[in-house]
Amino acid sequence: MIMQISKLNLLALLLMVFIGACSTPVTRPDNAPVMTAPEQPATPSQPQGEVVPPQAVAPSAQPLPAPPSRTYTLSAATAALVNQAHAQVTAKNLMVAASTIERALRIEPNNPLLWIEYSQVRMSEQNYYQAENLARKALMLANGDPHAQSLAWRALANSLRAQEKSDEAQQADARADALMPK
């Protein structure tokens, strides 16, 4: 925990240097309209993967500050389509529900919430392998948004459990729980 805090401090400091220098060589493009800039863009997301210990031989280059976190929501258009898809799933009209989610994905292809919805349609179809892959795709896109990440981990856990991969499912659930805002 202490390690993490000091790392955060370091990153925050590095960011200040950046702001001071006022020149980043690579300009990040504007985010898609569904993403809103958070209050404090400097907050780096907590590293999720395995952290390889830094090389101890000589001072190595610092990681750049993590990109600003993202918050994914559904726009009015995609929310309407998701509602429509839910009704179609309830009516057991699964082929059409999938096509409705694809309509929404055409509008916001990078929105992990829609990929999670798609994973759920595949779950209803008992197509668990596709449900898993779609959840993995959602997970990849959700990086930077803990809430979306948590939902994606949960969708992944459900698809894994349905395939009787209970150990993996449990781990995915644990990731989902850890990210869920208290």
7 binds other proteins (CB under 8 A): no
6 binds other proteins (CB under 8 A): no
Q: Which of 2, 3, 58, 167 binds other proteins (CB under 8 A)?
A: 58
Q: Do 122 and 135 form a contact (C-beta atoms < 8 A)? A: no
Under the phi-then-psi rule, with left for phi > 0, alpha for psi from -120 to 50, and beta for the rest, what region is 25? Answer: alpha
Q: Which of 2, 3, 26, 39 binds other proteins (CB under 8 A)?
A: 26
Q: Do 113 and 74 form a contact (C-beta atoms < 8 A)? A: yes
Segment 27 to 46, residues that bind other proteins, using CB under 8 A? 27-33
57 binds other proteins (CB under 8 A): yes
Q: Which of 4, 6, 41, 63 binds other proteins (CB under 8 A)?
A: 63
Q: Do 150 and 141 form a contact (C-beta atoms < 8 A)? A: no
Q: Do 122 and 97 form a contact (C-beta atoms < 8 A)? A: no
Query: Rounded CA gap, 96 and 100, in Å?
Result: 6
126 binds other proteins (CB under 8 A): no
Binding part of the chain for other proteins, among 61-69, 150-158, 162-170 by CB under 8 A, reads 61-69
Binding part of the chain for other proteins, among 98-106, 157-165, 166-174 by CB under 8 A, reads 98-106
